[in-house]
Structure 1
Amino acid sequence: MADAIGALFVRDLKVSSNRGRILLSAPKLDIAAGAAVGIKGPSGAGKSTLLFALAGLQQNCTGAIKWGSVDLTAANQTAKAKFRRDHLGIVFQDFLLFDELGPLENGAIQSLFRPKTARAGLRTAASATLKQLGVSRDTGDVTTYSGGERQRISVARALAHDPAILLADEPTANLDRDAADALATDLVSQAKGKGRTLIVVSHDQSVLDQMDRVITVKDGVVA
């Protein structure tokens, strides 16, 4: 459907610095709901800036960033936060886990900030995803887990609320080759299995090869 929340419509997007310098320009970008899309380009080209703009986390944006009928550039900060809470999961390069917590507690961390009625469901969903990803749900803290396992825990955290959109910023950068390949497969599987839109920033050609489509960002311009 044209108004599906996972369908992306970008027009005349410009991201500026606080001094007015254009950091990123995306004249036109359309992504169908449920597509798996990679974003590639040299370091410093603006790939992460684009991803953060799509998440409503980038300041000084003009133009249109529409997920379905929701225009994030026109939304206030409260509305953007609500959109991320309801529809968006994000996987970061550096895991961003709480080392003193176990995998399930990290995977279900959102339950601490949700109404009591939603907490059990988030823990159940996180537990199920950890199982699918082959991560032990033991109660020990996550410092004993490998890099690949820690990143899988961050994926479970991003998916606990069953988002329609999954964004990932260099998710395999800190992993060895085998772990990186496995994680890329897991990301695509978790997205395709639920019809989620997946957008991944990566320098890793093995990750990009698993995408339906790859977008290039060069010198701050989305090709």
Structure 2
Amino acid sequence: MKERARRKAQRPGEILEAAFDAFAERGFAATRMEDVAARAGVTKGAIYFYFPTKERLFEEMVDHYSRDMLADAGAMLASAQGGSAEKLRAFLEFMYGRCARDRYGREIIRLMVSDGKSFPQLVERHHRDFFAPAMRMVSELLAAGAASGEFRPEVAKHGAEIVVAPSVFLTLMRLIFGGSLELNEDAYIVCHIELLLNGLLTPSGRANLSPAKACGEDRSPI
């Protein structure tokens, strides 16, 4: 009985994972509930028990993966060591890992672009519950760095979107060109972070930046 209860509790997550694979491969319109059921190893009726419509399944799938990413970003920042510059570096490396380099992050962005117009309430909720909180994390990091004297306040005040834009660009390039994109991602990420910090850091902030590793390579303070 315990094993049966455990399997039942896991079933919604398994269905969401199967739905992700199906939607990512075929898009929303071309995906049938039968496709999801086959991938999940359940009957179509079992899917309808948890998700009464395909639209509801799609929305729950997007929300599920977006919530996980935001929660992980918050936990990562809460445990990050060092000043604002080091925390900003850690945040960007996290975002690159979970968007540009991670299939789940990339495909959620693809689905939001390709099918979001059919789900205006989902887009609004995604902005409210994921995008806006993520931007607040960046804005708070920039504000803390300006308050501590690490960051130039005139640059940090309006920089949140500029901070994340290169990671969005790399994600889109990966979505468009896939494996044919000839780009050294490690070098791209290091270049972005170093250019960003050179623009943000005050002389004292630059002097206090401790040595760190980015993308697996040793690096001296900027």
Larger Rg: 2
Bigger strand share = 1
Q: Normalising by structure 2, what TM-score?
A: 0.28
Bigger helix share = 2
| Higher RCO (C-alpha 8 Å, min separation 6) | 1
